[in-house]
Structure 1
């Protein structure tokens, strides 16, 4: 019987004697660990980035007229409906007052008027969403990057994307409306908003925002609104507020649809997570290839050392020690490959995350960097599991037959 240190020394000696073969086998583990860790970190960073971007709208509800769609996502310019055309597709002032009363102790509610219309800037024409909001609400929920907030019925602020595409500056004039269908209204740009990005309540990046008086002066609809947005102070009260609004306004029949922004955030993050898992599964194929390589190396090692095994068995070495010797060898290959792969995955993963996500702000977050030890453990475990059969075969060789081997 030999000691554990000698068993380990024999395993390391075998790795050194067949260094090139061992390096190539470990390289498969390196590639597998890098692939899984890098893709996992990319997915985690993407999820964290999207969650951060959407977190600002997670505490919002949008109330829109019921259209028989079963609560589906509205496709109007305001994110919740189109322009006002009849009482059936607008929210009335009485309904808004009911919503205000319900929301009073949980947050704030405000009305939104919106219409997609033709605009003319100089000699260029196009279309844009026109929003009508209360002047105080504009100041409260929107941030002007340059210029000021609208103070009259002839002044507006515009989204940064619209300003960039149409070359709008402070003082630019915009004609709203189609001259072939009636009169147009000329407004002056007094401010350009900060980029707001993806949002469910207001999509202002490509929009023109003016006061309620400007909107009703162009389109009419006094006392009618396309949607009501609710901002809840405590995210935990979202479900309570939503249920209260639906219960009150849909008591006799469905008149409004209440959309929960947090559900959209959950849906998006779940989709990103599913995609990441799928791509990681594909990357895991590289570890299966590495497992085949390790298995092949271990079987070759057993076949080349049959006589050595016979000698060890003849001097009293136990079967369990022969078994450990080959499992140690597989473990050494796995540990070396997984360690190198872990170091490489941090470097390569950082580059992948920066290139694919656009920011490495969350790279060292636990949910991101945690993929490195996970991939490391998977790589090492695969090596050990793959080495079990060759080790078992070696330990069960007949000592006499092994000594006769050439």
Structure 2
């Protein structure tokens, strides 16, 4: 069943459809303006969602972690064993992992790479590996970042030397993971015994269940070590990425509003074009409308016919624009997130609905004045031209 057959049951809609088809070029240009406006609104909104998801993905599990290091008022050059035990006594459903760090140059097959050296026991809690394993108790092997391994041509089982000791590579660290100084890039992870010459721990990483738990732990540790009986001295510096996640979300929400505003300007421009089309159409059909009024067609019917034209124009342009925006959004999600189907999730697909609804609303709004003008024009004056 064609659109015309469907609209036959609605006289006002049928007449509106025929009127739009009289000057197809002008109608197409007005619809194109709507399409561009919808694509601008929907695709920019979806872009904001894609960027936010990418930022959240890049932070990964860091939002669930708290880092503790020596504060500016500490008497030690790091975190002591007693402080580590005190930290652990304050934790519930969380794990404290002390770390010692250094740096060195790793060489292999005539190539060199500068890496951060991290000594830990529970490597599995901090690092994700692309190959091999990250042991819960790292005692003999080593982990190295995937990018460094590729740079030096190293593979699983190859030896790596640090401070006169050889460590066989047990796993390759995912370049986007890690909470050490290398952040998973250019990092060598060895057993903490390999840095036994360092008296204190450079940092302690605490892994919690989620971002809220990490924030609560950070506040508890800060209050315990830096407030109680210390006159607000910074004995230990406590840092959490959970607050950063919240700040990023707030910034992205503001960015999305700005992007939607930019897209809305395009649709407002399109609505002005629709207003022009409707005005020109009513002027050209002034005599026809006068005849309709003379044979008994009421003002309300004329008003409904013109508004239906505008609504049809907005609906068609909105549908085409939403489909085009969906294709653009799927491409953006594929590039930024790696999953084109994420464009169909409500968090992003809702902007297709917003763009379509705004297009119909703006079109109808633009048709109100031409419709009112045509409906209130005197039939006698209209017939005279």
TM over 0.5: yes
Which has the higher mean CA deviation after the structures are superposed, 391-400 or 115-124? 115-124
1:99 — aligned with what?
Answer: 87
- Once the two structures are TM-superposed, the CA of residue 50 in structure 1 deviates from its matched residue by 3.7
Contact 1:67 1:89 in 2 (8 A): no
Over 3 Å counting, the alpha-carbon distance change for 1:388 and 1:198 in structure 2 is farther
In structure 1, C-alpha distance between the alignment counterparts of 2:42 and 2:31, rounded to whole Å: 16
Contact 1:121 1:175 in 2 (8 A): no
Asked whether 1:323 is paired with 2:312, we answer no
Which has the higher mean CA deviation after the structures are superposed, 45-54 or 293-302? 45-54
Over 3 Å counting, the alpha-carbon distance change for 1:88 and 1:295 in structure 2 is farther
Asked whether 1:121 is paired with 2:100, we answer no
In structure 1, C-alpha distance between the alignment counterparts of 2:20 and 2:138, rounded to whole Å: 82
In structure 2, C-alpha distance between the alignment counterparts of 1:289 and 1:234, rounded to whole Å: 46
1:17 — aligned with what?
Answer: 22
Task: List alignment gaps of at least 5 residues for structure 1.
Answer: 69-85, 177-183
The equivalent position to 1:262 in structure 2, one of 242, 258, 263, is 242
Name the SS for the 1:91 alignment partner.
coil
- Once the two structures are TM-superposed, the CA of residue 259 in structure 1 deviates from its matched residue by 1.6
Contact 1:154 1:214 in 2 (8 A): no
> What are the residue-to-residue correspondences of 1:167-316 with 2, within 5 Å?
167-176=153-162, 184-195=163-174, 197=176, 199-200=178-179, 203-216=183-196, 220-222=197-199, 224-233=200-209, 235-250=211-226, 251=228, 252=230, 253-316=233-296
In structure 1, C-alpha distance between the alignment counterparts of 2:290 and 2:378, rounded to whole Å: 7
In structure 2, C-alpha distance between the alignment counterparts of 1:106 and 1:149, rounded to whole Å: 21
In structure 2, C-alpha distance between the alignment counterparts of 1:194 and 1:306, rounded to whole Å: 75
In structure 2, C-alpha distance between the alignment counterparts of 1:49 and 1:128, rounded to whole Å: 27
Over 3 Å counting, the alpha-carbon distance change for 1:10 and 1:146 in structure 2 is closer
Over 3 Å counting, the alpha-carbon distance change for 1:361 and 1:20 in structure 2 is closer
- Once the two structures are TM-superposed, the CA of residue 315 in structure 1 deviates from its matched residue by 3.4
2:3 — aligned with what?
Answer: none
Asked whether 1:51 is paired with 2:56, we answer yes
2:145 — aligned with what?
Answer: 159
Contact 1:302 1:390 in 2 (8 A): yes
Name the SS for the 1:344 alignment partner.
helix
Number of equivalenced pairs:
371
Q: If the length of structure 1 is used for normalisation, what is the TM-score?
A: 0.81
Over 3 Å counting, the alpha-carbon distance change for 1:359 and 1:46 in structure 2 is farther
- Once the two structures are TM-superposed, the CA of residue 286 in structure 1 deviates from its matched residue by 2.7
Aligned alpha-carbon RMSD (Å): 2.8
Contact 1:173 1:186 in 2 (8 A): no
Superposed CA offset, 1:285-334 (max 9, x none):
33233212211111101111122232233334333332222111111111
Contact 1:144 1:191 in 2 (8 A): no
2:98 — aligned with what?
Answer: 111
Asked whether 1:36 is paired with 2:41, we answer yes
- Once the two structures are TM-superposed, the CA of residue 155 in structure 1 deviates from its matched residue by 4.5
Over 3 Å counting, the alpha-carbon distance change for 1:139 and 1:198 in structure 2 is closer
Asked whether 1:333 is paired with 2:313, we answer yes
- Once the two structures are TM-superposed, the CA of residue 91 in structure 1 deviates from its matched residue by 1.4
Task: List alignment gaps of at least 5 residues for structure 2.
Answer: 1-8
2:70 — aligned with what?
Answer: 65
Name the SS for the 2:372 alignment partner.
helix
Which has the higher mean CA deviation after the structures are superposed, 32-41 or 21-30? 32-41
